[in-house]
């Protein structure tokens, strides 16, 4: 029996995922988390084999949550389940050690297949994601400047674009304000912007953050 933890801040999404899993057989949902902090706690308490991780979590993001969980339990297999399909998210998450990457538009059969494959030690990338990754490697394909960022820089860039102050980011990430200032400088340099407003504009342009409407 595969032990699964579902992490998503939307209750309806978690319920839908649980219903799919319950119908599949051979997979037990051992917990649900609506935040990164809760996911870390349940990972410690329930020792799931596989985690379905929403990257767009409020507060502690899916990036940071995944990194902390993998550092604490390297054996756990994480599948990113997200609306983000464009660079740099798929490549960076896979580089971090995620075992799979699916869009929220995937069907029930693909979701269950992904869970079983990563549990067996394989990696699984959804067809839409695989196509995006392949296209990004073709000569002449326009590249997102966010692809130049490291996973940690992406994390900081997302928080800056969402209006968080450097001091608050430093506190959340448990690092010094000076470290965040260094990240900010490198992010601005790589993206080619000189303000948080300009960073937000580029983040929206390249679908790095989700917007309403």
pLDDT at residue 74, as a whole number: 93
Question: If pLDDT is split at 50, 70 and 90, which confidence band does 164 have?
Answer: confident
Question: ∠22-73-78 over CA atoms, to 5°?
Answer: 45
- Residue among 64, 100, 99, 103 nearest 86 (CA): 103
Question: What are the residue ranges of helices labelled H in 120-212?
Answer: 127-136, 151-161, 166-173, 177-191, 196-205
Q: Answer yes or no: are the C-beta atoms of 27 and 112 closer than 8 Å.
A: yes
Which letter does DSSP use for residue 4 in this model?
E
pLDDT at residue 145, as a whole number: 85
CA 47, chain centre distance (Å): 20
pLDDT at 129 over 90: no
- What is the greatest pairwise CA distance in the chain? 52
Percent of the chain past pLDDT 90, that is, above it, reads: 49
Mean pLDDT for the stretch of residues 134-162: 74
Mean pLDDT across the chain, nearest whole number?
86
pLDDT at residue 114, as a whole number: 95
CA 169, chain centre distance (Å): 18
Domains of the chain are: 2-136 (3.40.50.2300), 145-205 (1.10.10.10)
pLDDT at 212 over 70: no
Mean pLDDT for the stretch of residues 2-21: 94
pLDDT at residue 161, as a whole number: 85
Q: Is the peptide bond before 44 cis (omega within 30 degrees of 0)?
A: no
Residue 163: C-alpha distances to residues 84, 122, 157, 169, 186 (Å): 20, 38, 10, 10, 18
Half-sphere exposure for 87 (CA within 13 Å, toward CB): 17
Q: Answer yes or no: are the C-beta atoms of 91 and 62 closer than 8 Å.
A: no
Question: If pLDDT is split at 50, 70 and 90, which confidence band does 132 have?
Answer: low
pLDDT at 73 over 80: yes
Question: If pLDDT is split at 50, 70 and 90, which confidence band does 186 have?
Answer: very high
The per-residue pLDDT for range 192-204, each reduced to its tens digit, is 999 999 998 888 8
pLDDT at 116 over 90: yes
pLDDT at residue 213, as a whole number: 44
């Amino acid at each position: 029996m595969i032990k699964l933890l579902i992490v998503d801040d939307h209750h309806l999404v978690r319920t839908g995922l649980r219903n799919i899993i319950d119908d599949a057989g051979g997979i037990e949902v051992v917990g649900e988390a609506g935040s990164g902090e809760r996911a870390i706690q349940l990972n410690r308490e329930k020792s799931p084999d596989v985690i379905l991780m929403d990257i767009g979590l409020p507060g502690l993001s899916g990036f940071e949550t995944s990194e902390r969980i993998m550092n604490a339990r390297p054996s756990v297999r994480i599948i990113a389940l997200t609306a983000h399909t464009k660079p740099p998210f798929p490549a960076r998450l896979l580089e971090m050690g995620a075992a799979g990457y699916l869009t929220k538009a995937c069907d029930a059969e693909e979701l269950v297949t992904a869970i079983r494959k990563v549990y067996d030690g394989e990696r699984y990338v959804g067809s839409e994601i695989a196509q995006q990754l392949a296209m990004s490697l073709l000569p002449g394909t326009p590249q997102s400047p966010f692809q130049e960022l490291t996973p940690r820089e992406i994390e900081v860039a997302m928080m800056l674009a969402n209006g968080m102050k450097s001091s608050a980011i430093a506190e959340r990430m448990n690092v010094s304000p000076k470290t965040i200032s260094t990240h900010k400088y490198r992010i601005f340099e790589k993206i080619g912007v000189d303000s948080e407003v300009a960073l937000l504009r580029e983040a929206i342009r390249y679908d790095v953050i989700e917007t309403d409407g």
